[in-house]
Structure 1
Amino acid sequence: MQTNNLNPSHAGTFSKVQSSVYDVAQVMGGLYGDGIIGLKSAFSKEWVQKLHDEVLDLYEDALKRPGGAVGRGPKRHYVEIHPEDISGFVDLATHPWVIFVCEAVLGPDYKIVEIGFDVPNPGSQNQPWHRDFPAPDDTTVGRRLNSLAFNLTTVDVYEDMGPFEIAPGTQWDLPEGFQHEMFPPKNLYPRYEQRAQQKMPKMGDISARSALTIHRGTANLSDKSRPALVLGVDAPGANNAERHDLQLTRRFFNTLPDSLRQHLTYRLVDELEPIVQAHSIEGLMMGEA
């Protein structure tokens, strides 16, 4: 994971953070260049351990419900959840680095549209190289990133646990010959393998990436699962909220700071409804051929 040597304990307004701790050029350069940046030790291990326990409970529940978990390859699932399903949602969504990166890349009117987690279990295989969704005109024509995915591992990641692998700079690749505009043809694989970087974050680390940068999950050869939380964020005009169903109960909504409410795309409900995953990536189901 790329590290920016930033102090995660800082809190304050965007302008205060900008001038004293974080650097717009560094953030923009990383996401427009490699397509991924990271911050070490953004959260305490105790905070992450609680998240890990909550994720495992949510995963067990999702596997029991029709449509609760969607396959992302053999022995690998994605589960979309409600913000109030985890106790640390507000901590994550209001972390100074998360706010700074969102404002720097997506602008002051960014919206959180998704929260969920991936679980590559023991025995999961290499995924085919892919994007998480087709590249919008904003990127292919306008050369602008209009969405980000933040990832936070709930365990220390080691080489045999199927680490996330990314091909830096490929968020700008035109989808020529891509199946469903997401899956590049096999003749491009050598290019991605030559560029490939495996990410092995530790508990407490967080990353931000363009989901358009070509990437894959690798084979988990260990006896441990590797859960990772996902927070999806859009710029105005992006349409990724259509793939998700961010629900908030009125009682939870009333506990949120106004500064966070304005950055959520949500549906207010009296009681949370089970989420039937709508963002299925069909090409991942068989693993790498």
Structure 2
Amino acid sequence: MSALQKTHELPSIDIAQSVETLYRDGITGLKGAFSREWTEQMREDMMVAFWEAIQRPGGAVTRGPRRWYVELHPEAISGFTDLVTHPWVAGMCEAVCGPNYEIVEIGFDTPFQGAKNQPWHRDFPSPEDSWKEKRITSLAFNLTGVDVTQDMGPFECAPGTQWDDGREWKHEMFPDKSLWDRYTERATRKYPQMGDISCRSALMMHRGTAHPSPISRPVLVLGVDAPGAGHAALHDMMVTRAFHEGLPQSVRDHLVCRVVDDLIPITQKHDIEGLVMGSE
């Protein structure tokens, strides 16, 4: 555990209750999971990575006007081990995705002043396990880098929509605007504070909202799969040998990555076309 997290008192954790909420709403969370100091370091790591990535082709991909997504190597986040070994994070991964869960992605989304409302969407097509069997096979953990306020384009979601079929939608991810009333009627905006963490199904309908604030809102994303979900093919995480050897075995057992002598900058594979053109 890092020095920034070592003295932090953990909130009470009830994995069974969190899983129940996740299956009902498509999203759940834990307030105060990390210290503010730890979160400030995470924010600094994200912004350093952003200014490096935005300067090279494929380093930062657009998610609409003034909004970008950047994939990272685990070493870019100094608190990576704290994150993936946190008892609530590891507990949710195992409870939902099974004992052989796979850590397949780490990155962050950041809107800046001028970002617009995104279209309602999910992050990838729903597999049969989800739309037919009502089973969650992948998780997205989100950690805000700031205390979110109304003018920072808060994340908006439509609870309970993770089971929507979606096979007739554009790219099986973007429902026609004629269907949006179902989502706006359910819409809930989230205002997490530094140190909070959420866990959601990426199939739950959601969108980023308009961001008039001059303060950017970076949000860390950790992607986890059940075996066979297949999202590792969309990513290419790498770690150096020294970093890999320093990880606890409990992390190495779940991390889907290449072990290399030197890290290669990531050229992203998962560009969500509908978010480039569809913002309001």
TM interval, short-chain normalised: over 0.9
- For these two proteins, the number of residue pairs brought into alignment is 273
Partners in 1 of 2:102 and 2:134 — Cα distance? 20
CA distance in 1, matches of 2:167, 2:236: 31
- Aligned partner of 1:203 in structure 2 is 194
Q: Deviations over 1:70-104 (max 9, x none)?
A: 00000000000000111100000100100111111
Structure 2 match to 1:213: 204
Partner of 2:275 in structure 1? Answer: 284
The alignment status of 1:90 with 2:81, answered yes or no, reads yes
How far, CA to CA, are the matches of 2:19 and 2:47 in structure 1?
A: 34
- TM-score, normalised on structure 1? 0.92
TM-superposed deviation, 1:176: 4.6
Counterpart-to-counterpart distance in 2, 1:39 and 1:245? 29
Distance 2:101 2:157 in 1: 25
1:186 alignment counterpart: 177
Which residue of 2 is the match for residue 43 of structure 1? 34
TM normalised by structure 2 equals 0.95
- 2:263 aligned with 1:272, yes or no? yes
Question: 3-state SS of the aligned residue for 2:53?
Answer: helix
Return 5+ residue gaps in structure 2 as ranges: 1-7
Give CA-to-partner distance per residue, 1:3-61, whole Å, 9 cap, x none. xxxxx8459xxxxxxxxx54343122111110000111111111111111111111000
Tell me the CA shift for residue 235 of structure 1. 0.5
- Give deviations 1:240-284, integer Å, cap 9, x for gaps: 000001111111000001011001111111100010011000000
**Alpha-carbon distance between aligned partners in 1 of 2:32 and 2:14, rounded to the nearest angstrom:** 18
The AA in structure 2 aligned to 1:50 is Q
1:100 and 2:66 correspond:
no
Which residue is 1:237 aligned to?
228
Matches within 5 A, 1:91-240: 91-240=82-231
Give the superposed CA RMSD: 1.3
User: Would you say 1:255 and 2:254 are equivalent positions?
Assistant: no
Letter in 1 for 2:209: T
1:287 deviates by 3.8
How far did residue 142 of structure 1 move?
2.1
What SS does structure 2 have at the residue aligned with 1:47? helix
Moved over 6 A (4+): none
Residue 91 of structure 1 aligns to a residue in which SS?
helix
Aligned twin of 1:14:
none
Mapped to 2, the partners of 1:176 and 1:82 lie a distance apart of: 32
Aligned mates of 1:110, 1:9 — CA distance in 2: 27
Residues 10, 32 of structure 2: 8 Å contact kept: no
The aligned counterpart of 1:15 is none
Q: Take 1:109 and 1:144, find their aligned partners in 2: how far apart are those partners?
A: 16
Question: Secondary structure of the equivalent of 2:92?
Answer: helix
Unaligned stretches of 5+ in structure 1?
Answer: 1-7, 12-20
